[in-house]
Structure 1
Amino acid sequence: MAVETPKPLSAPRIYLIRMAVFLILAGFLAFILYRPIWNAFLSNPGLNGLIVGVLLVGIILAIRQVARLFREVRWVNSLDLRDGAYQGRAPVLLAPIAQTIGRKTGNGAVSIDAGTMRTLLDTIGARLDESREIVRYLAGLLILLGLLGTFWGLIETVGAVGRNIADLPTGGDAAVLFDELKNSLASPLIGIGIAFSSSLFGLGSSLVVGFLDLQAGQAQSRFFTELEDYLTAHAVEEPVIEAPRGMPAATGFGGAELAGALDKLTTTINEGGGGRQATQAMANLAEGIQGLVQHMRSEQQMIRDWVEAQATREKELKAVLERLSSQDKG
């Protein structure tokens, strides 16, 4: 059966365009508000500079998440399922698929069974989610840095106000005391500037990184969906071994699920995955082994029942033949 030409995967170019347009608009707005933004930056250049640095790192990582999909899309579109050949460099995100196809090469058209396909999709989905964790963390970190500046400024303000009130002389003219209090409050207002400037930079930067992460997530979701459709179009059903005539067919857990769980555990260990992922993969493998053992026991019981039934039938047939033989002799 010939393998149909699959629908090519679409490149995530539109998402890079959206990112570029958003960054241009944000840069244009910052250019228009350059003077007040610069004055706010000088209120606390150390913390605000750290926020801007984290913002630049988040922008680079978010753009990289989308840009790396171009290599994977080109690999899938150049893949020839008739012999497993492809053009260009080997993929990174889709390395499990490349290894699976490499093992199947030489047996005619490459086909992937349903169990293996689901295991591969789960592995690739986990890789895509892990690649975005740093960008998500940076988006939350920017908000936390803004709040840190806020509390820092408020602590400075409250402390300065308390010291100024304690230094006011007692007694004297009320008008003079009011003028002294008014002049002494000028210094604590600097802390308010620190608080609001850090909040401004933190929230604004988190907004930028959050939008870029949203576009990266949409690009990866479309890539994963199209890849799933691609693999589903070429997945084949697992062959079913028919039982002997008169013996009930075996149903239950098969070896494909166990092989898939073992492949997933091996991939997780080779990639240096976290303890939670390795534990989950080992749990899946243990569950698969347990299911396989139960399946083997049920098959053994069915075989024993079938053998006993065949033995009973043979005894009945032997008794009938003996009666027929005795009648013929009589």
Structure 2
Amino acid sequence: MTQTTYKWATLGTGVIANELAQALQALGGNLYSVANRTYDKGLAFAEKYGIQKVYHHIDEVFEDPEVDIIYISTPHNTHIDYLRKALAAGKHVLCEKSITLNSQELEEAIALAEKNHVILAEAMTIYHMPIYQKLKILIASGQLGPLRMIQMNFGSYKEYDMTNRFFNRQLAGGALLDIGVYALSFVRWFMSEQPNQLASQVKLAPTGVDEQVGILLSNDQGEMATIALSLHAKQPKRGTIAYDKGYIEIFEYPRGQKAVITYTEDGRQEIIEDGQTAQALSYEVQDMEKTVAGLGNSMYLDYSKDVMDIMTQLRKDWGLTYPEEE
């Protein structure tokens, strides 16, 4: 499938919405419509990309019979309200990560999607980049042996401004929902089953959100993972997956395109490349359209649910809640 076959609407006009518009154009299509809290911003966005329809009120997107799929890219804490409206209106939804604030919200959204016979999915790049599909086949062949340990790093250096969204509790800020969701999705992709034993340490920012986090995970197969997250200390975006017969390293893993395998026995290295970082949104769009068309399900909502259950438990352990949960 090289050309988009459905009418997409964007809810939000931020960085991801721009990437979505460019991805659809690269696939020979275009966004059908744009919904935004501020009409003028929606209008400017539409003019930039030649989009034919702008809604005066954000809720009009849910009532538009022409819209097939809505991409939600607003702040985390607004997702569930828009999901309720979109799914109840019978729209397929691709929602930016983190798909909801907690497991309870996600379960509600999943039930709504099932009731209305529509596809709900999280826009998690890891599940759609070709390199991860390729590695899954290689691992399934058994040539690396059983999985032992995964190590994940993701650190950003954000200015210590407690009003920006990263540190703002009113906007569901914090490392876990913003960057931790990538590391956990990576872990879930490579683990043979859901991690069910969790331990963690957290350093809270002055606003009460998680600024720095260390997580230990393991499952009943004895597979383990460590995750280090920081919002005020730069780290490489690196994932290392260690097996009996070798380990795989992936840098810039949220949109990875290259993996290096180092074999234990002789230190030999093998480079595997597939896909392109710049096309991350195109892969998501194509997988979503295939799933909507009934050509199998390649959106991994079950993995999104597993990751959300972990994040919900971690925040419970830390006593970290958002205003919407109180």
Shared fold, TM over 0.5: no
Larger Rg: 1
Higher helix share: 1
TM-score, normalized by length of structure 1? 0.19
Q: TM-score under structure 2 normalisation?
A: 0.20
Which structure is higher in strand share? 2
More relative contact order, 1 or 2 (CA 8 Å, 6+ apart): 1
